[in-house]
């Protein structure tokens, strides 16, 4: 059922795509439905070009026959469509469950608009139940971890900080970095945490997306709901 809902949300977002658009194309299970639906429209004559946010998305887009570019060649995009691991009623997001949030955030920030596609289970009153991904440089990992733990204590946030993939075989992002997942349970002030995280040496990027999404298509048992800032979750 969840997969069907993801597909419905993705298909709704594809309807917003028009010929001539420069697209940011997200990563993850919901975004893959978008890529497949977009491929159908491209093969039907839709003229678009896309920037994929991961090597996995790039491979799928190429399979679907979607023309691709890079931010070096096309630095300004019209629209990014991507999924989310959590979304609140202010359209703040947690992303990075697939390990691509660095590229996803770069692409989203280069876009005039961002549409989020999700099923209803991703909607929350307060961000934080989903572990917050923090992408870090492998060098100095112990010091970076210590700094993050002290930061969480200073902000009154509890929870374990774990290495994605495990200490012996860490998950490595497309950019060659590691991911520390912060199990914070709740993030009452996402803006303050976001600013504090980027100030920690060794942190490359984090999974809090604030001020980037313009709307979301959220699919549930009653169909697809268009969500904007202030909508009931």
| Active site amino acids | 104
Query: Is 2 known to sit in a ligand binding site?
Result: no
The whole-angstrom separation of Cα 177 and Cα 99 is 10
Query: Is 185 known to sit in a ligand binding site?
Result: no
Query: Is 211 known to sit in a ligand binding site?
Result: no
C-alpha atoms less than 13 angstroms from C-alpha of 12 in its C-beta half-sphere: 25
Residue 29's contacts (CB-CB under 8 Å, 6 or more residues apart) are 3, 6, 83
Rg for the chain, CA atoms, rounded: 17
The whole-angstrom separation of Cα 42 and Cα 38 is 6
Query: Is 207 known to sit in a ligand binding site?
Result: no
Query: Is 176 known to sit in a ligand binding site?
Result: no
Query: Is 83 known to sit in a ligand binding site?
Result: yes
Query: Is 28 known to sit in a ligand binding site?
Result: yes
Q: What are phi and psi of 37, to 5 degrees?
A: -65, -35
Query: Is 99 known to sit in a ligand binding site?
Result: no
Residue 194 CB coordination number (10 Å) = 18
Known binding residues:
27-30, 82-85, 95-98, 122
Known binding residues for substrate:
27-30, 82-85, 95-98, 122
């Amino acid at each position: 059922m969840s997969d069907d809902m993801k597909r419905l949300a993705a298909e709704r977002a594809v309807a917003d795509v028009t010929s001539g658009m420069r697209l940011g194309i997200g990563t993850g299970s919901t975004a893959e439905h978008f890529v497949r639906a977009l491929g159908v429209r491209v093969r039907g004559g839709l003229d678009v070009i896309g920037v994929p946010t991961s090597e996995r998305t790039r491979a799928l887009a190429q399979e679907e026959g979607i023309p691709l570019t890079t931010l070096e060649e096309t630095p300004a995009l019209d629209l990014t469509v991507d999924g989310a691991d959590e979304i609140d009623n202010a359209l703040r997001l947690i992303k990075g469950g697939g390990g691509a949030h660095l590229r996803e955030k770069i692409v989203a920030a280069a876009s005039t608009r961002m549409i989020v596609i999700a099923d209803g289970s991703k909607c929350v009153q307060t961000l934080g139940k989903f572990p917050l991904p923090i992408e870090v440089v492998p060098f100095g990992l112990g010091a970076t971890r210590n700094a993050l733990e002290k930061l969480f204590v200073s902000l009154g946030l509890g929870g374990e900080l774990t290495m994605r993939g495990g200490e012996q075989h860490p998950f490595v992002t497309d950019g060659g970095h590691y991911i520390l997942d912060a199990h914070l349970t709740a993030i009452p002030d996402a803006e303050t945490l976001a600013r504090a995280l980027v100030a920690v040496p060794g942190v490359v990027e984090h999974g809090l997306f604030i001020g980037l999404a313009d709307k979301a298509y959220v699919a549930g048992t009653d169909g697809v709901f268009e969500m904007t800032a202030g909508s009931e979750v």
